[in-house]
Structure 1
Amino acid sequence: MVSTVYARHIRGSNKENHRGIMRVIQIIDSLNLGGAERVAVNIANQLVDKIDKSFLCTTREEGLLKEELNNDVGYFFLNRKKTLDFKAIKRLRDFITVNKIGIVHAHASSYFISSIIKILLPRVQLIWHDHLGNRNQIKPNSSFVLKLSSYFFDKVIAVNSELASWAKTNLKTNEAIYVPNFTVRSKVDSYTQLKGVRSKRILYLANLRNPKNHLLLLRVFYELNENFHDWTLHLVGKDYNDNYSKEIKSFIKSKDLESNVFLLGQRNDASSIIGQCSIGVLTSTYEGLPMALLEYGLGSLAVVVTDVGQCKEVVSDYGFVVKSQSESELKKALVKLMSNEELRTEKGKAYNLHINQNYTAKQVISRIIDIYSMN
């Protein structure tokens, strides 16, 4: 029975706006602390008081971001076990039908199950949201399933302009639109107390995965440690305990950095952690539009980022943008900030104002609702 798959009681609503009745479900594979996952949660939350009913379905696993879902979001855990899980597909189809959902907003790799739903329910509008920063570098054969699924996409939302261009060229969809990410302050009550001096902490908010290039930052931080020995580096993100993670831990130990570098794992109180730091860093080799970059701005951090994805456009002149994989440029930028507290404060305040003026939930959600409404 459909009722057995409800994770929360789904309440009806007579709410309307000038765009008419609208019921939308965000679909994401997990609720772990990742960029695409946070975008899906943020959109679902922000839509609550702007459309008739906002839903979110996580298909494979739950996670810490579940705690940040608004209580008025219709939440559904599909518990899908495999790629072609026919029982799960039926449950999702029934959920969408019973709740009279008209728009399916699929994020990242959830496009496959969402395209099957489109085949079963042709009346729904299917929008795919692409978050992958290196999409244009993937071999064509690797995109076969995505390209096949794209025949059923009504629109594509991309987190940077390059992804939008790629979609227009490579996917079978009518429209591909660049819409920037946005971020909001976390409402989680937990509080992580960081070690070190409050005004001399560097933060890297990213899961321990290869594209994030933590070792570049670690090598530079090690070189700076002699002259900036009272500074600490805090790496916050999921540890997959794989070879990449082992390499990071091995470097920290071999360079005797255990008193200055701290691996904190997944944390759901990013806002409080950011508030205890003065510099935010992102050293990725590729990106879409990283949520961490926006969160740094909300927390008034001075930022240093690599020139990948949409990072340069977001940061503009309010922080330091360095060439990807360039130790010398990263070191030069960090030295400027670490040696000048006034500059850190000035850059942080200016960046905060920039983010609040250009990457707010109000602006982006209005754009997304416009896209939902487009014929």
Structure 2
Amino acid sequence: MKVLQLIDSLEVGGAERVAVNIANALSTKIEGSYLCATRVEGLLKDSLDESVNFLFLNKNRTFDIKAILKFSKYIKEEGIDIIHAHSSSFFLATTIRVFNRNIKVVWHDHYGNSEFLQNRKFKILRICSSYFNHIFTVNKALEQWAIENLKTNSVSYLPNFAVINNEVRETILDGEEEKRIICLANLREQKDHLTLLKAFKKVIEKHSDWSLHLVGKDFADTYSKMIKTYILDENLNHHVFVYATKSDTLHILSQSTIGVLASKSEGLPLALLEYGLAKLPVIATRVGECLEVIKNNYNGVLVRSENPEELSKTLIEYIENKELRDKYAFRYHEHIQSNYTEAAQIKTILKVYNNICH
């Protein structure tokens, strides 16, 4: 069996990391594991295992005939059996499927605004979905939505899994050791950094020696400017540090004390799983599959979204109770190791691949 993961870019993000993780994991399980980045390469290219075959299309627009023909030729020459398309790359996968009925298409839905599915535009997706052999979703809400709105008969929820490799040690976090709060999240509105900043402002009124570290892609857009303006206007620039995209996740987390996500909406965030692998105590909002991953007041704490008061109170409780932090962190690490590992999810993926190929 030969399977190709299809993704728009290899910049650091949740869907991109999943595509790389699956391609790497499959490289020792099947005849050929491939990954194609259609529009942009990126930092995650360095995370690809040497045994994964890589193709970059440099696709510039939706109907880039040159890129489509190049991709089609590659699929035929390599004898690819399955295209596992992630997020918006479903359109290119469908195009190839229309002209080659032997190709099987699996679509992986990473839609981040699953709390606001009523606003999702999906006319083209619905048409393309009749060509999908299976759909994986990153949370149960998306699974139900796909069953109700798309034309694919086979749909299932597939929990993300995190892999932290021994990476380079480049990033040195500012602030005092043992007093750092980390938020791994691209600067997108759904991640709601503003609520986190409002909560942290209350935290440093009591604990001015603590710092907050925001690590994620900066899109240099209106949201990014709003976050940076708030940091300056509220005189938080000596306590809050923004790092943009980084690849040395393990090294960053090893310097951190508390892991937090303040999202308005989520699928199953990889950051939350990575916090667990790094043995951090965690706080997240009650959205998406965060409720499934964190057992509230047992291995972490869940708070209401867009509620800086509740978030600040929880952060302060963690800061003032190291014993609680350590207890939750231990339990959370054990939970992630037992339920969100590579082995279990790859077994599920391979079962789907085998079913659609026979």
> What's the TM-score bracket when you normalise by the shorter of the two chains?
over 0.9
Post-superposition Cα deviations, 1:298-337, rounded to whole Å, max 9, x if no partner, equal 0011111001110110112311011111122212211110
What secondary structure is seen at the aligned counterpart in 2 of 1:60? strand
For 1:150 and 1:323, how far apart are their aligned partners in 2? 34
Corresponding residue for residue 241 of structure 2: 262
From 111, 119, 123, the counterpart of 2:98:
119
SS of the aligned residue for 2:136 comes to strand
CA distance in 2, matches of 1:33, 1:141: 24
Whether 1:45 aligns to 2:24 is yes
| Partner of residue 331, structure 1 | 312
Gaps of 5+ in 2: none
Asked if structure 2 preserves the Cα contact closer than 8 Å seen for 1:216 and 1:325, the reply is: yes
Amino acid in structure 1 at the alignment position of 2:129: S
Which consecutive residues of structure 1, in runs of 5 or more, have no partner in the other structure? 1-21
**Are residues 1:318 and 2:299 paired?**
yes
Alpha-carbon distance between aligned partners in 1 of 2:2 and 2:111, rounded to the nearest angstrom: 26
The 2-side partners of 1:373 and 1:215 are apart by 45
Q: Structure 2 matches for 1:64-143, cutoff 5 A?
A: 64-135=43-114, 137-138=116-117, 142-143=121-122
**Given that residues 167 and 251 in structure 2 are in contact (C-alpha distance below 8 angstroms), is that contact kept between their aligned partners in structure 1?**
no
SS in structure 1 at match of 2:122:
helix
Q: CA deviation at 1:138?
A: 4.2
Further displaced range: 129-138 or 213-222: 129-138
Kindly indicate whether residue 192 of structure 2 is the aligned counterpart of residue 213 of structure 1: yes
TM-score, scaled to structure 1: 0.92
CA 1:136 to 1:94, structure 2 compared with 1: closer, same or farther past 3 Å?
farther
Per the TM alignment, residue 254 of structure 1 is displaced from its structure 2 partner at its CA by 1.2
Out of 333, 339, 352, the residue aligned to residue 358 of structure 1 is: 339
Structure 2 counterpart of 1:146:
125
Deviation at 1:160, TM superposition (A): 0.8
Partner of 2:137: 158
TM-score by length of 2: 0.97
Counterpart residue identity of residue 72, structure 2: R
Q: CA deviation at 1:347?
A: 1.2
Trace 1:176-215 onto structure 2 (pairs within 5 A).
176-215=155-194
For the 8 Å contact 2:183–2:213, the answer to whether it is kept is yes
Distance 2:223 2:104 in 1: 39
Structure 2 match to 1:174? 153
Q: 1:246: how far off?
A: 1.0
Which digits, 9 at most, give the CA deviation of each residue in 1:107-126, with x for residues without a partner? 00000111111111111110
Q: Contact between 2:86 and 2:109, CA under 8 Å: does it hold in 1?
A: yes
Indicate whether 1:61 and 2:72 are aligned: no
Q: Is the 8 A contact 1:278 1:344 kept in 2?
A: no
* 8 Å Cα contact 2:114-2:267 kept in structure 1: no
Q: Tell me the SS of whatever aligns to 2:274.
A: helix
Deviation at 1:139, TM superposition (A): 5.1
Q: Indicate how the Cα distance of structure 1 residues 117 and 135 shifts in structure 2: closer, same or farther if over 3 A, else same.
A: farther
Q: Is the 8 A contact 1:288 1:309 kept in 2?
A: yes
Identity %: 45
Contact 2:162 2:273 in 1 (8 A): yes
Q: CA RMSD in A?
A: 1.2
The Cα of 1:50 is off from its aligned counterpart by 0.5
Whether the 8 Å CA contact 1:133–1:163 is kept in 2: the answer is no
Residue type matched to 2:299 in 1?
Y
Which of 279, 283, 286 is the equivalent residue of 1:300?
Answer: 279
State the Cα distance separating 1:135 from its structure 2 match: 4.5
Residues 68 and 187 of structure 1 are in contact (CA less than 8 Å); yes or no, is this contact kept in structure 2?
no
Residue type of the alignment partner of 2:60: K
- 1:223 corresponds in structure 2 to 202
SS of residue in 2 equivalent to 1:71:
coil
**What secondary structure is seen at the aligned counterpart in 1 of 2:124?**
helix
Distance in 2, matches of 1:41 and 1:304, equals 26
Q: In the alignment, residue 44 of structure 2 is paired with which amino acid? A: L
SS at match of 2:172: coil
The count of residues paired between Structure 1 and Structure 2 equals 354
Deviations 1:160-199 (A, max 9, x none): 1111111011000011100100011133313211112221
Query: For the residues of structure 2 that align with 1:141 and 1:341, how far apart are their CA atoms?
Result: 42
The structure-2 alpha-carbon separation of the partners of 1:318 and 1:141, relative to structure 1 and needing over 3 Å to count, comes to closer
What's 1:240 paired with?
Answer: 219
User: 1:126·1:154 contact (CA, 8 Å) conserved in 2?
Assistant: yes
> Quick one: distance in 1 between partners of 2:114 and 2:185?
19
Partner SS state of residue 238, structure 2? coil
Runs of 4 or more, structure 1, over 6 Å off, are none
Alpha-carbon distance, 1:140 to partner: 7.0
